[in-house]
Structure 1
């Protein structure tokens, strides 16, 4: 039993995919009341013209993104381009606004300012509590420490969608000491919504349908330092990661295949036991039965990550495959899950575990 605690939410950047998905999951939350909706270039537009699936909000008009529109709410969600959230959050702090601020962008995820500057090319805006409740800390096989860090948090930095998939796939092996953190290789199939809503030629249907295309190859993807940071949190002293994503012709979803060297002398049974221990009681991360492999279709619309692990004995490597919806568990659902923890609400409140099929 929990005490009802209705909270108002403003969403900045409501016209984009992340902002729209945040509104969709908030509409399913029994305690959330949606307040101001703002945008930049789409200010003055009806929400229904941009997100026609959000029928209950279709007649809402987007205001310009400024602090006056966002102030006075219990929660402010920033679904803004990378580099834009820091300034808005700073302005809210300057005016003494007491809202819980949830950043769906990258501005506050990284601990190391040098890593931010190297990958994003601007000044670091600071580090906030990290919005991945399932993140393991060194020496633990359940994520109690991360949930404690989120409890009563007033600022939440939501992970990158690819980061969530790779972290959930590999971290049990790091925490249990059954895989080597050096020579980690991650290859991801990513839906087009992961590239955002900005019009670009290679994102047109005529270019993308029937085609798979890699991007950010050769260690340039901005999610790399965040994945490394998470694996270090789980206990890795030194991490080397080869990370290669590819856009594939689906609207949403990530299928992340990550491999790492098996620690010499490790019993294969100990590998699966590590993943079982980490996720046995997790409501949204499900280790599938042996021999059953994740698919992105099974996670569409759900705040669920499906994980499988196997040992490739001939190669001496552990193989993990993780599927999730990049807009739900990878972004908006993960944000609402973390917000529930911060507000003292049941972590699962308002979040679906069942996908949409076919």
Structure 2
């Protein structure tokens, strides 16, 4: 008998990706998957890619989830806190929502609204010292997808004193799965195909999370909806604080990291190369005209940006090799 795990919010895109990863995990036994409106539905009616997994979605309640040793909460923002409060302390939790990511209650109020639920251990193991904190935690707040993409590109440069934390600009494109599975008119195929659409310009909710994780003090972010199902490509630029080779700084920071790869010179990250994986691909250079640092970062928003990252954290929390059940290789074409 392995470690018993459950997924709340299993009918969504991140929940479906969690089920896929957990079904093939050698040490995790999937004992329950729950949903709201889809409760009572066989999982293959919601996620046909999981044909062969004999599982019926249950109602999302603490009694069902308490049977597990570890629970993944893949719920809409603002819904995790109430459910988490009902689970026993003995049950470990990885929350894929935003409820417990921010330390600043005022930032929560500004970007999400409502009461701030508190702060859990932040689930990005590649940050200095964070792997040990995750290993010691029973409650972990998984990163946001944009936050993971940008933080991995930026944090080592600010920590090394190379990038100016007061002058960071991000333009990032994301696939439509990042907006969730709920039906929305602006996500219809006829609206998305052949189009790039900026949204939440200057007010995206991942900005305070990125600032908290990287040490940036001023960050301008323009998110763009791209006509693809999954993936994020971020262009992160910053002014030099100290002259250094930004690519060398990133290579040193991620030497030995299984899921973060600084590409060979001349190769640039692209989303298809990370699809289906838990990897982040990085490349850095100096802009020839402006002299600014320029880092390109790509990952799968449902992988390293959500479900894969959550499984990585769960592995660490459970004392398992953190790569277990996860692929560093993308699926392409």
User: So what's the TM-score if we normalise by structure 1?
Assistant: 0.91
Aligned 8 A contact 2:77 2:99 in 1: yes
**In the TM superposition, what are the counterparts of 1:118-267 in structure 2 within 5 Å?**
118-135=110-127, 143=128, 145-217=129-201, 219-232=202-215, 236=216, 239-263=217-241, 266-267=243-244
Gaps of 5+ in 2: none
User: 1:8-53 CA deviation, whole Å, 9 max, x = no partner?
Assistant: 1111100000111111111221001111111111112111111000
> How big is the alpha-carbon RMSD for the aligned residues of Structure 1 and Structure 2?
1.2
2:63 pairs with one of 62, 68, 72: 68
Separation in structure 1 between the aligned mates of residue 156 and residue 147 of structure 2, nearest angstrom: 15
Shift of residue 271 of structure 1? 2.3
Separation in structure 2 between the aligned mates of residue 272 and residue 339 of structure 1, nearest angstrom: 30
Q: Tell me what 1:139 maps to.
A: none
Separation in structure 2 between the aligned mates of residue 13 and residue 272 of structure 1, nearest angstrom: 39
Please say if 1:307 is aligned against 2:302: no
Separation in structure 1 between the aligned mates of residue 44 and residue 89 of structure 2, nearest angstrom: 29
Please say if 1:18 is aligned against 2:1: no
Aligned 8 A contact 2:247 2:283 in 1: no
DSSP-derived class of the 1:182 partner: strand
1:115 pairs with one of 107, 126, 132: 107
2:77 pairs with one of 79, 82, 89: 82
Q: Tell me what 2:296 maps to.
A: 321
1:331 pairs with one of 306, 322, 326: 306
Gaps of 5+ in 1: 136-142
DSSP-derived class of the 2:229 partner: coil
Separation in structure 2 between the aligned mates of residue 158 and residue 40 of structure 1, nearest angstrom: 21
Q: How many residues align?
A: 333
User: 1:161-208 CA deviation, whole Å, 9 max, x = no partner?
Assistant: 000000001112111111101121000110000010010111000111
**In the TM superposition, what are the counterparts of 1:25-44 in structure 2 within 5 Å?**
25-44=21-40
Separation in structure 1 between the aligned mates of residue 55 and residue 319 of structure 2, nearest angstrom: 30
Separation in structure 1 between the aligned mates of residue 247 and residue 55 of structure 2, nearest angstrom: 49
Shift of residue 97 of structure 1? 4.9
DSSP-derived class of the 1:151 partner: helix
DSSP-derived class of the 1:130 partner: strand
Separation in structure 1 between the aligned mates of residue 246 and residue 35 of structure 2, nearest angstrom: 47
Separation in structure 2 between the aligned mates of residue 285 and residue 97 of structure 1, nearest angstrom: 32
Shift of residue 56 of structure 1? 2.5
User: So what's the TM-score if we normalise by structure 2?
Assistant: 0.98
User: 1:74-125 CA deviation, whole Å, 9 max, x = no partner?
Assistant: 1111100000000000011xxx351111100000101111111111111111
DSSP-derived class of the 1:61 partner: coil
Shift of residue 340 of structure 1? 0.9
Separation in structure 1 between the aligned mates of residue 150 and residue 222 of structure 2, nearest angstrom: 11
Shift of residue 313 of structure 1? 4.2
DSSP-derived class of the 2:159 partner: helix
